Structure 1
Amino acid sequence: MGACRTASTCSPDEAQGMHVFHILGYSKHRGMGKDPDSFIRSRIFTVGGIAYPDYISVYLELMSNNTKVRASCDLRLVDQFTGLSYSAQKTGPRIFNFDDSTGFAPEFCEFKRRSHIEGSAYLRDDHLTIECIITVIKKPHVADTKPFPKIDMPPSDMTAHVGRLLEEKEGFDVSFIVGEETIEAHRFVLAMRSPVLKAELYGLMREARPGQSITIKDMQPAVFKALLHFIYTDSLPGDMDLQGGKDTDMVRLLLVAADRYAMERLKLVCQSILCEDLNAVTVATTLALADQHNCHKLKDACLEFMEMSDDMDAVVATQGFKDVKASCPSLIVDALEKRRKFRKA
């Protein structure tokens, strides 16, 4: 299952406005800036609830008392012939504070040289137009967290469809004689799941041509049917106890079949069930089976069980232990040696 994904959005909350200041009779106002008490002030205008006027030479001033605001400004000159405006000076974004010098912008008084204005398209009929575009940046707005769009992944139903091929008994193209029974199946399904069956059905070791049956020796029909059920469905038949304990003999036989047909997943499933069923009665027999069919994890589990067993006498008294001792005494030696080391530790 993938990690839960959510999303939220942070977007700036801005208020923007433009104030256009027309200076008529420009030539009559020249030189006023030399007198600190003489200047032309625009009417107060408001952007986002904050008031500003424009100064000629040229300044922007925050006029709202006891206020701090983050803003930017763009002072522009208007071409009197085309009506288009061009940026002459930009400030910010930065903090404007009414209580100190930061309430003014820009920091320097040089707005535009007179020589650049007089005789230019910005001045026509003694008329100069300045645009001041103010952007007040308020606190960012963060949207509520929302779950990321998700479409649930449907569970796999492939095994259900393949398993239906076995249930509906249609399209069979190979048959097996197991004991006294004839059992049919699909070649391509068997070859897909078992490399041994693939070699027998399609490879150089092919035993059967179309119309011929393959004889399976040394296997009970019930075991072969359970094997086919796993091949088609990737699970054990419903009447087998997956927790171990009720059908241990059947699981052992199925493990032998899994080893015979190189079906490693089925082999591990059987080992897991037999491991859960380990007790004083079953451990020796399971140890011998694990050793015979190269089930290393199950073998280690059996030896570990013997190491930790508090009732070794009960294990030794079982027929399984006696059979292992007679057929493969080295296994018993290994088990007892590990138990001795465990006890010393």
Structure 2
Amino acid sequence: MESLSMMAASGCYQFKINYSETKDMSIGKKITSPKFRFGQHDWVIYYYPQGINNKDYNGKYVSVFLGLQRESVDVPADFSFQLLDKHANIVSPTTFILLHHTFTSKEKSAGLYDCFEKTKLEQSYIKDECFVLRVSISVGQDSNIISSLGFPYESIHKFRKDNVHTDVTFDVDGKNFVAHRLILAAHSPVFRAEFFGSMIESNMDCIIKINEMIPSVFEAMLDFMYNCCICINDYKVSISSTAFLQHLVVAADRYEVLRLKVACEHKLIEKISLNTVLSTLEIAEIHNCEELKEQCLRLVVDEAASCRPVKFEDLRYHGEPIVLYRSNSVPPVEFCCPILGSQGSRSGQGTENNNASRNTSSDPETDQSVTSS
């Protein structure tokens, strides 16, 4: 499961693993998670289904390691591994095993040779032939992993799902969502002003209507504020995962959920291509994502070499039309903008198609998670 995380000093990352496809791998063979980012550093999880080598209990235990990617500086970190049960609750005994390691250019990985027994994994954690491995990380000399990673996100999220003590209801395009005002106010200055400031609702029991937003996008934003970790493919939408991330940027900027906005921005940077650069650049420009905008323009410049010019008059940067040089071998550029609500292809002239005509089943992009501290 490809994941996305914010640039934070601490947080969690979830790695979905297909047990059926990995259980028969030989001892010492591993699979590596997609890269994720914490504390301005890139990390991966190394998962060894049969353990690292023959002396490690002859395949009785699974080995799990955390790896630092391409760094020349020493990075101290506290971390722990957890297994999520079939209901997404953390119940594995490894939850309470706190590890500390200073990652260096010579020692870039650390972890557990006997993280958990395969038999227990098979009995309690497999759902639809997959299970979820989670790592919680706190980076830095003064990190306090006991308090920062011990927060009961799952329990609070369950309160919302079970409608326990919820005190606000949202109507998003006819679909209702319940939540706790205090939780939302803690993450969003906009909600804080609406619930407790000068913008306070005159009728505290009313249903708050949210306009111009896809219900699944609003739901994902709520889940992020409760869990600090979401899986994008858990939400059934008729747009690509890149377009879904773009919508999340719009929502996060609208409600000033900055951690979600930064997390989505970093994932969009990884996914920039000729098929999405126009819509992504427009999102970056409108919503002040400076790093994302820089990377989009860098791609445009890189593609300019040895190609003929094609002007996209609909896209402007500081009021000036963007000119992209493109060879005949490059396919038409996809136009998919949640602000304008349309998509299609542009090659000087183009057509527009309705977003609903797309289905995620045809999207080649993989599962993704958004995580935060």
Tell me the TM-score normalized by structure 1: 0.47
Q: Which has the larger radius of gyration?
A: 1
With a CA cutoff of 8 Å and minimum separation of 6, indicate the structure with the bigger relative contact order: 2
Tell me the TM-score normalized by structure 2: 0.44
Structure with greater proportional helix content:
1
